[in-house]
Amino acid sequence: MKPRLLATLLSTSLSAVLLQIPHLAWSQTPVHNPTLTVIGYHEIINTKSALIPEYAVSTTQFQQHIDWLKKNGFHFINVDQLIQAHQGKYSLPTKPVLLTVDDGYASFYQNAYPILKANKIPVVLAVVGSWLEPKKEKNIDFSGEQIQRKEMLSWAELREMQDSGLVEIASHSYNLHRGILGNPQGNLEPAAVTRLYDPKSASY
């Protein structure tokens, strides 16, 4: 399966990734065999202090994406519906779309959740387990940098959103976003995508 960008939707930002999966074999009837669109976000924030600016969209851009999807006949689904469809127990609507958000930044609760709640849109929120453990006055290892724990969602916010029935909490690894030594120059890189460099043996 090859990801492809839906240029019209992402004209304001390239930080939301769309994955189109054609011809899902969940039904013998073609009309119930739609293409599933999965849109992945990281940070929805209104300031210039985004943790990863190239992955961030503004609240206005996020609202525009939602409005565009609704106007163009997309139907938002949740993970349970996707699983049931895979099991043949549910027929997906036409043009189904699943929203996902990675990492678990506090800005999600502040900026994205109100929009999703107002529109009754489900979302999968994938959090990094180790970032949730420290108390709010402590720091966390953010790919080798130290940032404040309060930049991440609180347990109370996670409970509130899960209890709404709209936000499904998923795992985005437990501790694979910490920084590890990635090269002889001493750069710290995310553990999930980096080969660990051992200075003693000068090897990876």
Give pLDDT tens digits for 1-43. 333 323 223 333 333 444 443 333 333 334 455 689 999 998 8
Q: Is 173 helix (H, G, I), strand (E, B) or coil?
A: coil
Q: Which pLDDT value is given to residue 141?
A: 67
Structural domains in the chain, CATH included, are 17-132+153-172 (3.20.20.370)
| Out of 83-87, 146-150, 180-184, least confident range | 146-150
pLDDT of 146: 74
- Indicate the average pLDDT of the chain: 78
Contacts of 157 (CB under 8 A, 6+ apart): 106, 109
- Quickly state the pLDDT bin for 189 (edges 50, 70, 90): confident
Does 198 or 131 have the greater pLDDT score? Answer: 198
- Between β-strands 139-142 and 145-148, what pairing exists: parallel, antiparallel or unpaired? antiparallel
**Could you read off the pLDDT of 89-109 as tens digits, one per residue?**
999 999 999 999 987 888 899
Tokens of 135: 């108390």
User: What mean pLDDT do residues 163-192 have?
Assistant: 79
Mean pLDDT computed over 145-151: 74
Instruction: Give the integer Cα–Cα distance in Å for 42 and 52.
Output: 9
- The pLDDT score that the predictor gives to residue 134 is 62
* Separation CA 91–CA 75 (nearest Å): 12
SS3 label, residue 18: strand
**What is the 8-class DSSP label of residue 34?**
P
Q: What is the mean pLDDT of residues 154-180?
A: 83
Q: What is the predicted pLDDT for the residue at 98?
A: 95
Q: Looking at the predicted structure, is the pLDDT value of residue 172 above 50?
A: yes
